Amino acid sequence: MSRLPLPVALLFACAILLGACGGGEKEKEAASATPSASATATPEAAQSDGCQKVAAPQPRKPAKLPKPTETLAAGKTYVARVATNCGDFEITLDPKRAPRTGGSFEYLVDKHFYDGLTFHRIVPGFVIQGGDPSGNGSGGPGYSVTEAPPRNLAYTKGVVAMAKTGTEPAGTSGSQFFVVTGEDVGLPPDYALLGKVTKGQDVVDRIGVVPAPGETPTNPVVIRQIRITTR
């Protein structure tokens, strides 16, 4: 699987791209929008990192969702509440600078696509990455959309953007997204903007330090659900 560049201090030692977003040949490895098994919490169980202990969800079967045409409406506020076993946080989407990317994300949220998926990749001081139905960084929804990110976009702490492979054009996205946990990770403006964390940054920080040897969390960090409200 391809990877995002690691923080600047490690740029010359590591590969350069985030995991696949679900377009092209990788679509064949993507999973369906209906979970085959949801993560369930162990009553009263808590890990030392402050997250509730849950069972790992099973990878989903391949799916190929129709490509959405929805875009976010200018002038509206869209807030995505992400509920996890480590707590909840909110992402305010950016309908002005990323209407198509946000529209695709809302489409997937409305289908409950993200419910029961995981943050499969955690790199302290860099990003947390989730939204892959296969659970290993290779999957997506079976389609991709492209919307060039702002050329002056800086991937600073709390910015939320979409993953893509190295061969895809700038701004390509499927279902995988990442939240920046470093102050400024120095990425080029190649990754489609989704929005910014506006509540629950402490939860993002908590997820960002979950033990993850080889970037894979030792204990699952599960997205229980994502729901979007508008006003």
- 67-72 long-range contacts, Cβ below 8 Å, gap at least 24? 67/143, 67/145, 68/103, 68/104, 68/107, 68/143, 68/145, 69/103, 70/103, 70/104, 70/106, 70/107, 71/95, 71/99, 71/100, 71/102, 71/103, 72/98, 72/99, 72/102, 72/103, 72/106
pLDDT at 217: 96
CB 191 within 8 A of CB 50: no
pLDDT at 63: 74
The DSSP output letter for 17 is E
pLDDT at 47: 55
The DSSP output letter for 104 is H
**Residue 192: which of 65, 102, 66 has the closest Cα?**
102
Record the tokens describing residue 47, joined without a space: 């890990």
pLDDT at 43: 37
The DSSP output letter for 156 is B
Question: How do residues 60-77 score in pLDDT, each as one tens digit?
Answer: 987 799 999 999 999 999
pLDDT at 61: 82
pLDDT at 129: 98
CATH number, domain 4-31+65-230? 2.40.100.10
Record the tokens describing residue 23, joined without a space: 């377009």
Place of tokens 């999957």: 139
Mean pLDDT by 10 residues, the chain (231 residues): 47 42 40 30 51 94 90 97 98 98 98 97 97 94 96 97 94 98 95 98 97 96 98 94
